[in-house]
Structure 1
Amino acid sequence: MQKQTHSEEQIIGILREADGGKTVRQVCKDHNISDKTYYRWKRKYGRMEVADAKRLRELEKENTELKKIVAEQLLNIKVLEHVNAKKW
């Protein structure tokens, strides 16, 4: 079975359908997702609007980039410490 990915906007739309009066089971059946997936999405995106989800995506991307920078700097520091530890 192929894994289907949904965008944040689609996920929020699906959650809003259940808030709009449909049952959770019916929404899950309509969109071919499990109850577990629905509740996991609800825990993560439950109170968000589409603009909030876009901002979350941007922040996660920025966080990833910052983590890479920190890792590179740590590596540079370790290399310099190793070079300076040698006696010339």
Structure 2
Amino acid sequence: MKRIKFTESQIVKAIKEHENGKNVHDLCRELGISTAAFYKWRQRYGGMEVKELSKLKALEEENARLKK
């Protein structure tokens, strides 16, 4: 099964659409993902802006580098 990779900005955009009133099932159908995947995204990236997300990614990369 082919795995589709979404960028963080696409994930944040999808979460924003849901917050603006779009149905989860319709949104998941459009993106081609399961509802479980969407809820995992929402748990991790909910309430974030793209700017905050880039800071989070930089911190995660730095932590991974420091653990080595």
**TM class, shorter-length:** over 0.9
Q: How large is the RMSD of aligned CA atoms in angstroms?
A: 0.7
User: Could you list the runs of 4 or more consecutive aligned residues of structure 1 that deviate by over 3 angstroms after TM superposition?
Assistant: none
Larger of the two Rg values belongs to structure: 1
Distance 2:18 2:32 in 1: 14
Q: For 1:9-45, what per-residue CA distance to the aligned partner results, in whole angstroms no more than 9, with x for missing partners?
A: 1100011111112101110011111000000000000
| Identity within the alignment, % | 38
3-state SS, counterpart of residue 22 of structure 1: coil
Relative to the length of structure 2, the TM-score reads 0.95
Unmatched 5+ stretches in structure 1: 69-88
- The one of the two structures with greater contact order (alpha-carbon pairs below 8 A, sep at least 6) is 2
Q: 1:14: which partner in 2?
A: 14
Higher helix share: 1
Alignment coverage as a number of residue pairs: 68
